[in-house]
Amino acid sequence: MFGLIKYSDEELDIVSRFMIDHHDEYTKMVRPFLLYDTIVRVGFAFGLSLLLDKVITMVLFGKSLSLFFALVLIAYTLTSFILSGNYAYFILVPKYVKEKSVKYKMLANAVINSVVDSMIMTLLLTLFVAILYRNVVNVSSVLHAKYHIDVTDLYGLFKNLPFIFIHFAMLGII
């Protein structure tokens, strides 16, 4: 449970003792995610695809970039929080760590780790969407120039296109 917030030597002893003493409980809580890692990641990728694909399609056709960033950051933060096992610290730390400063630092590090992971995934997904947007604009301008096909006609292609593979690749980062 180490992260961006540093511990003093005494706090580091408390954290190390906590990690050693409660390793079995932590493993028991995280074990289903470890045993069925691929199945769990596919399930989360499917859920993310259901949640975020409509927003990605909206961004491709010029709508609501702020909604895209908000939903992607929240969805990836929660997913990272669960898949990385940080949720177990939120259950175990308040129960067993008595020192408030250590408790808050450990919980803050769990949140910060998940947020940093989700920011990296959000950046990569934004790059993917930006490249896809550029390609959609190029294809639609060519189709409009040659065949007089409107850009909104391409919306039907992306409305039913699942981005589950890109979400699964993003979950491989965690």
105-133 per-position pLDDT tens digit: 999 999 999 999 999 999 999 999 999 99
Q: Do residues 27 and 99 lie in contact, with contact meaning Cβ atoms separated by under 8 Å?
A: no
Q: What's the number of domains the chain is made of?
A: 1
pLDDT band at 2 (very low <50, low <70, confident <90, very high): low
Packed helices 86-96 and 23-35: angle between N→C axes, nearest 10 degrees: 160
Asked if pLDDT for residue 35 goes beyond 90, the answer is yes
Indicate whether 2 belongs to any domain.
Answer: no
152 vs 129: CA distance, rounded Å: 17
Q: Is the model's pLDDT at 1 over the cut of 70?
A: no
Predicted confidence (pLDDT) at residue 65 exceeds the cutoff of 60: yes
- Is 4 inside any structural domain? no
Each residue's pLDDT tens digit, 75-100? 999 999 999 999 999 999 999 999 99
pLDDT computed for residue 162 by the predictor: 85
- Compute the chain's Rg from CA coordinates: 21
Q: Which amino acid is it at 105?
A: K
> Looking at residue 31, what is its pLDDT?
94
Tell me, yes or no, if the pTM score tops 0.85.
yes
Mean pLDDT value across the chain: 92
Residue 12: predicted pLDDT: 93
Please report the pLDDT score of residue 63 as a whole number: 83
Say if residues 161 and 53 touch (Cβ distance below 8 Å).
Answer: yes
The answer to the question of residue 120 being in a domain is yes
Average pLDDT over residues 30-38: 92
Does residue 116 form part of some domain? yes
Phi, psi of 62 (to 5 degrees): 85, 30
More confident residue, 11 or 153: 11
Tens digit of each residue's pLDDT (9 = 90 or more) over 140-167 = 899 999 998 887 778 877 877 789 889 9
Residue 62 included in any domain:
yes
Is 43 among the domain residues? yes
Phi, psi of 166 (to 5 degrees): -70, -35
Instruction: Give which of 19, 27, 77 is closest to 48, Cα–Cα.
Output: 77
d(Cα 81, Cα 115) in Å, to the nearest integer?
8
Domain span at residue 76 reads: 9-171
Summarised one tens digit per residue, pLDDT across range 49-62 is 999 999 999 898 88
Query: For residues 77 and 119, what is the distance between their CA atoms, to the nearest angstrom?
Result: 8
The whole-angstrom separation of Cα 149 and Cα 60 is: 17
CA distances in angstroms from 65 to 60, 72, 174, listed in the order given = 9, 11, 25
- Residue identified by tokens 């067993």 is 96
Q: Which percentage of the chain shows pLDDT scores above 90?
A: 75
